[in-house]
Structure 1
Amino acid sequence: MSNKKILTGNEAISRGFWEGGGMIASSYPGSPTVQILDSLKQYEEIYSDWGTNEKVAMEIAMGGSIAGARSMVSMKHVGVNIASDPFMTFTQTKTKGGLLLVVGDDPGLSSSQNEQDSRFWGKFANIPILDPRNPQEAKDFTIEGLKLSEKFHTPVLIRMMSRLCHCRSAVELGDREEFAPEGFVPEQGRYSMLPPYSNAQQYFMKERMEKLQNFNEDYEYNYLEEGTSKDFLIITSGLIYESLKELQLENINILKLGMIWPLPIEKIKKLSEKYTNVIVLEEMLPFIEDQLKINGIAAKGKEYFSFTGELTIKDIKIGLKKAGVLINGVELEIPQKEEIITRTPMLCAGCPHRPIFHILKANNATVIGDIGCYSLGIQEPFEVHKTNISMGASLGMALGVATVHSKINKQKPIVATIGDGTFFHSGMTGFIQLAKTTENITVIIMDNRTTAMTGGQNTPTTGDYFKEEPGYHVSIPDILKSFGIVDITVADQFKYKETKEIINTAMKRSGLSVVITTRPCALNFKIKSPHFYVDEDICISCRSCLRSNCPPISMKMYPGKEKKNSYINPDMCVGCSVCSQVCPVGAIKCSSENMQKGVK
């Protein structure tokens, strides 16, 4: 009997790693690949944990591999930038236990600050790339990738896309294949990448890629679907193949690739001779198209299809019409999408970041932002953050801006924000640099005890909130003091007036000042206290509470009133009390008489 289960692409990767005998898995949370490690937690045979950042996660998997265990590291596309230092050297080694690098690309930037095409890492690092088209292939390619890794002594990159990570389909399940790792066996020339060892490995990588090239010429996951016409051959791979198939073009010949680097060039050359036109259908950059042109194959692609964003079925249809594939008045029915009302992303009710943004906007600070939930400080109604580049960048950028301002005698204090997850990910090195500055810089560390933006994964400060987890707690103030930083203030941002005074005073002091705000994520920790309400007889409709941008607050026409007054939805309010503290007339009150007035 068939044993199938509906899985997402991410879950299929996890299942494939388990079935393939995987033992060591690591990651750093980043959409769209977060669910891979989350879903691995169910398998007791696998050690799975979050790395402090992608570099550490990569190194954990590398350690597992050199000890002979089948290992995997997963991350989003920008995470490879962080992991590339150890990765680019490790690819020179003769891999022992199978090692997979699973990367989630994000065409269209659904949840990313840039749009990278991770296929170029395969070429750059001299490793093969597998490009699954659906969750079933995601599972199969994970198992296959482990085998290829050990057969050719190479890391293997599995390229996922946002839509493939999150889509669902039936996946055939199998049993686990057990592997007993040998453990680490010292072999100086194999893992010590210093000259002259690393010089010799350049030739090893060259030979490895040549063997993979020959292997890929007859690889079972590269297959031709022949149509009735000899006019066009479409070469494609991954999820975009599924979109193409939705058009049901029976006359079109399709070469679907499974391993997209190294390409089966000889196979493609022979095939291309049979057809008048070769069209490459791929999302983002012309990776396959350029390689075909380099090898003398007259392929076209990006003149018909966009170089950025997702290619929808409609986009593919329009491109194929431009290419002349769809002719003779052929019109394909494309279902019209139902118009969806857009909703601006916003901070959750009770979010501890909200009072900080409210304070910073009021004092018209120049704020250098960072990556996290607090990136929403860029958007209306706060519009506080003026930059958003990469994790940890706020610290070095703040130093650069402050130094320039000092040289041109521009007297305006600089504020940088960073979260606790980002602090541990890539912020500590920036703080070491800042420790010696004399410029007027205030850094606000928003410690909400979790990596909130990606689903609430633990950080080293989570244990400070969960007292039942002794040992899992790192003190950010103690770390900063060890760097030689002395101006450190810990604040409870739900004590609004007190925190406002702390931040404004810190901005006036010369040198580096650090303010650490300590309220945990209301959503992740399900924090809810008695709700607040508006006394409409006291409210003067000044909208001060509304400007805090808390979702439960709106304006409402009360019976017997001539104009709208503030209103708080009791079902949405989590009782953070900030709105009551910004109200100038005391119209916002706690529903519990036992609650101290104004402050939780």
Structure 2
Amino acid sequence: MNPKKAVMSGNEAIARGFYEAGGKVAASYPGSPTVELLDNIRQYEEIYSEFSTNEKVALEVAIGASMGGVRAITSMKHVGVNIAMDPLMTFTQSHINGGFLLVTGDDPGMASSQNEQDNRIIGKFANMGILDPSDSQESKDFTKLALKLSEKYNLPMMLRITSRLCHSRSIVEFEEREEVESQKFKEDTAKFCMLPPHTFQLQYTMKERIEKLSKWADESNINKLEHKNSDCLIITSGLAYQNLMELGLELSVLKLGMVYPLPIEKIRELSSNYNRIIVIEEMMPFIENELKIAGIECEGKKYFKFTGELNIEVIEKGLKDAGLITERKIVDPKPEDTTQRGPLFCSGCPHRPVFDILKKSKVTVIGDIGCYSMGLLYPFEVLKTNISMGASLGMIKGMRMAMDRIGDDRPLAGVIGDGTFFHSGLAGFANLRYQLKGDENITMLILDNGTTAMTGGQPTASSKHMDGAGQDISIDEMLKAMGYDDVQRIDQFDYKNAKEVINNAINKQGLSIVITSRPCALKFKIKEPHFYVDPKVCISCRTCIKTNCPPLRMKKYEGIEKLKSSIDPTQCVGCSICAQVCPVNAIKRNELNKTMKNIP
């Protein structure tokens, strides 16, 4: 009987692999490109899974599960590993009990990220074995293999997967779930308590197990040689291998499945059979540098770019530059002649009125990471900084301290979402009160939309009151318990009152917090009669257009020479912001009944 097959994304395949491997605990924090991994694990009842409050906590949940004796997985985007580095760098010294796998979603080309760090470097830094799959089948297979290697060599493993592989699809063969015998936790301070003198010996333990894993890599078939009649050996891994194969060239290729530790002795032996070794890898010259450290001559980034994805065109060009092919067969695609369109907030997005108010206030706004990061783009262009999750809190304090000391008394405002509040904002808010005199002009806006919206609407710790999920932790009460007195919650769809509250907070000395309360328009649908524009009343001032709502645009009406505002009724959700900002009441509901609470 043929095994069941399905077309799966890399994320789906890893989830399936963890299930088949007998995995029991999975924890993650949502971040592209790895969000769908945990979303898919959640379908398997045998596995406990959670979206933790941040990556550090997710890692610690998985560490506890591993020490507790079961196979555990934690997944996060590449910058999420930065948040988890503190426990990671100590945990990799310790012993494990159940297989442990960290999945990192690297993002060549920064399709959805603020940087392009290469987490293979972190994996080596942390003394972890690193597997690098090239398609969905290998994503599933390497997940299972990583957990076995973790237990065999007593070390945490890393599965490094890139954005393209997370989301691209290929055929995967299913196997039955393997129930693995659990190893109950046995108290042993030398194995699990990372303090001297235990850690002195564990430095040697880390070194020895990486050496053993390297020997395994030399002898295993995870690294495959495809020999052709050529005097050059191409060494590659991951999706770059698949793109290279698309060219159909007669070149010898060593495809690496494990990129750390490398099968150094095998490569050293192979190198004597070739005149040249060329490494094709995305982002940093990680494999290239490892080979050079081992005294193996090679080239790589001399011909292939260090940033962005290595697609077929880029690889072919690099091979021509290296003199391995004489002509290019693939023509570089020409950019299509299309209108450039920036990202927009969704129809009915509760962030839109907030940024419209902030823009009109002309206050300097410190940004943070989330959907609201788009507030730095046209037409709002409100946010003046954008660094990392939770950074707005420390940065606004530091900037206030600096400005006060040089006589710059301009008010400062900052924004942070509810998901980011629980991710990394609590410590920032605690610190924000520390050593203040009380008259510093700082306004923080918490955009509480009840979800981690940018990554697909996962619940936050405050969202139970909206959809029954989450932990229903009150942000208002937490802040008041910290000692904040000036905390107000507003309905930003009541535009006039929201504008008054926000502007009063900005213009008042001291530390003020304003929490907005409308939920995400995608997660919690607004169902209201749509609005329309009366072109005879409209004065073409474009005030409504500047709210950046997708249904709004200027158009030509029959019999009217001047362009007037219009609303696409198929996109309008009836949030009413455009009607509230219109200075001449030209925007009206399509129906007389008004069912939305607290909306004019």
Q: TM-score range by the shorter chain?
A: over 0.9
Which one-letter code corresponds to 1:116 in the other structure?
A: Q
Other-structure match for 1:268: 267
Other-structure match for 1:377: 375
Whether the aligned pair in 1 keeps the contact of 2:320 and 2:328 (CA below 8 Å) is: no
Measured after TM superposition, the shift of residue 64 of structure 1 is: 0.6
Moved more, 340-349 or 449-458: 340-349
Q: Distance in 1 between matches of 2:334 and 2:62?
A: 42
Measured after TM superposition, the shift of residue 340 of structure 1 is: 6.9
Other-structure match for 2:200: 199
Measured after TM superposition, the shift of residue 331 of structure 1 is: 3.2
The residue matched to 1:575 in structure 2 has which SS? coil
Other-structure match for 1:69: 70
Q: Distance in 2 between matches of 1:260 and 1:240?
A: 13
The residue matched to 1:102 in structure 2 has which SS? strand
Other-structure match for 1:240: 240
Other-structure match for 2:302: 303
1:331 pairs, out of 328, 331, 353, with 328
Other-structure match for 1:83: 84
Q: Distance in 2 between matches of 1:214 and 1:182?
A: 26
Moved more, 585-594 or 297-306: 585-594
Residues 101-150 of structure 1, C-alpha deviation per residue, up to 9 Å, x if partnerless? Answer: 00000000000000010001121011100000100000000000010000
Q: Distance in 2 between matches of 1:472 and 1:271?
A: 56
Pairs within 5 Å for 1:79-478: 79-230=80-231, 232-250=232-250, 252-327=251-326, 330-334=327-331, 336=333, 339=336, 341=338, 342-436=340-434, 437=436, 438=438, 439-466=440-467, 468=468, 472-478=471-477
Other-structure match for 1:3: 4
Q: Distance in 2 between matches of 1:215 and 1:296?
A: 21
Other-structure match for 1:42: 43
Q: Distance in 2 between matches of 1:259 and 1:304?
A: 23
The residue matched to 2:75 in structure 1 has which SS? strand
Q: Distance in 2 between matches of 1:111 and 1:289?
A: 27
Whether the aligned pair in 1 keeps the contact of 2:317 and 2:328 (CA below 8 Å) is: no
Which one-letter code corresponds to 1:398 in the other structure?
A: I
Q: Is 1:581 equivalent to 2:580 in the alignment?
A: yes
The residue matched to 1:448 in structure 2 has which SS? coil
Q: Distance in 2 between matches of 1:226 and 1:112?
A: 38
Q: Distance in 2 between matches of 1:337 and 1:44?
A: 48
Whether the aligned pair in 1 keeps the contact of 2:21 and 2:178 (CA below 8 Å) is: yes
Residues 187 and 596 (structure 1 numbering): CA distance in 2 closer, same or farther, change over 3 Å? closer
**Structure 2 spans left out of the alignment, 5+ residues:** none
Residues 596 and 528 (structure 1 numbering): CA distance in 2 closer, same or farther, change over 3 Å? closer
Q: Distance in 1 between matches of 2:378 and 2:44?
A: 43
Q: Distance in 2 between matches of 1:479 and 1:188?
A: 36
Whether the aligned pair in 1 keeps the contact of 2:313 and 2:332 (CA below 8 Å) is: no
Q: Distance in 2 between matches of 1:544 and 1:503?
A: 19
Measured after TM superposition, the shift of residue 511 of structure 1 is: 1.7
Q: Distance in 1 between matches of 2:118 and 2:330?
A: 31
Q: Distance in 1 between matches of 2:406 and 2:49?
A: 51
Residues 24-73 of structure 1, C-alpha deviation per residue, up to 9 Å, x if partnerless? Answer: 00100000000000011110000111010000000110111001100000
Measured after TM superposition, the shift of residue 445 of structure 1 is: 0.3
Q: Distance in 2 between matches of 1:179 and 1:2?
A: 21
Residues 271-297 of structure 1, C-alpha deviation per residue, up to 9 Å, x if partnerless? Answer: 111111110100001001111111111
The residue matched to 1:217 in structure 2 has which SS? helix
Q: Distance in 1 between matches of 2:298 and 2:456?
A: 42
Measured after TM superposition, the shift of residue 592 of structure 1 is: 2.3
Measured after TM superposition, the shift of residue 528 of structure 1 is: 2.4
Residues 568 and 485 (structure 1 numbering): CA distance in 2 closer, same or farther, change over 3 Å? same
The residue matched to 2:395 in structure 1 has which SS? helix
The residue matched to 1:417 in structure 2 has which SS? strand
Other-structure match for 1:24: 25
Q: Distance in 2 between matches of 1:566 and 1:148?
A: 63
Other-structure match for 1:535: 534
Which one-letter code corresponds to 2:129 in the other structure?
A: P
Which one-letter code corresponds to 1:244 in the other structure?
A: L
Q: Distance in 2 between matches of 1:333 and 1:193?
A: 55
Which one-letter code corresponds to 1:373 in the other structure?
A: C
Other-structure match for 1:599: 599
Residues 540 and 242 (structure 1 numbering): CA distance in 2 closer, same or farther, change over 3 Å? same
Measured after TM superposition, the shift of residue 596 of structure 1 is: 7.7
Residues 221-248 of structure 1, C-alpha deviation per residue, up to 9 Å, x if partnerless? Answer: 1011011112x11100111000000110
Which one-letter code corresponds to 1:333 in the other structure?
A: I
Q: How many residues align?
A: 594
Whether the aligned pair in 2 keeps the contact of 1:7 and 1:135 (CA below 8 Å) is: yes
Q: Distance in 1 between matches of 2:595 and 2:70?
A: 57
The residue matched to 2:219 in structure 1 has which SS? coil
Q: Distance in 1 between matches of 2:328 and 2:154?
A: 49
Which one-letter code corresponds to 1:325 in the other structure?
A: L
Residues 173 and 338 (structure 1 numbering): CA distance in 2 closer, same or farther, change over 3 Å? farther
Residues 72 and 596 (structure 1 numbering): CA distance in 2 closer, same or farther, change over 3 Å? closer
Pairs within 5 Å for 1:451-600: 451-466=452-467, 468=468, 472-595=471-594, 599=599
Measured after TM superposition, the shift of residue 579 of structure 1 is: 0.4
The residue matched to 1:415 in structure 2 has which SS? strand
Whether the aligned pair in 2 keeps the contact of 1:522 and 1:528 (CA below 8 Å) is: no
Q: Distance in 2 between matches of 1:565 and 1:383?
A: 24
Moved more, 334-343 or 345-354: 334-343
Q: Distance in 1 between matches of 2:426 and 2:323?
A: 56
Whether the aligned pair in 2 keeps the contact of 1:581 and 1:599 (CA below 8 Å) is: no
The normalised TM-score by structure 1 is 0.97
Measured after TM superposition, the shift of residue 542 of structure 1 is: 1.1
The residue matched to 1:299 in structure 2 has which SS? coil
Residues 227 and 513 (structure 1 numbering): CA distance in 2 closer, same or farther, change over 3 Å? same
Measured after TM superposition, the shift of residue 538 of structure 1 is: 1.4
Measured after TM superposition, the shift of residue 527 of structure 1 is: 2.1
**Structure 1 spans left out of the alignment, 5+ residues:** none
Which one-letter code corresponds to 2:374 in the other structure?
A: L
Measured after TM superposition, the shift of residue 338 of structure 1 is: 7.2
Q: Distance in 1 between matches of 2:335 and 2:7?
A: 26
Q: Distance in 1 between matches of 2:413 and 2:458?
A: 27
Measured after TM superposition, the shift of residue 2 of structure 1 is: 3.8
Measured after TM superposition, the shift of residue 541 of structure 1 is: 1.3
Measured after TM superposition, the shift of residue 513 of structure 1 is: 0.5
Measured after TM superposition, the shift of residue 184 of structure 1 is: 2.2
Whether the aligned pair in 2 keeps the contact of 1:279 and 1:299 (CA below 8 Å) is: yes
Q: Distance in 1 between matches of 2:115 and 2:103?
A: 18
Q: Distance in 2 between matches of 1:57 and 1:282?
A: 29
Q: Distance in 2 between matches of 1:2 and 1:81?
A: 39
Q: Distance in 2 between matches of 1:507 and 1:245?
A: 59
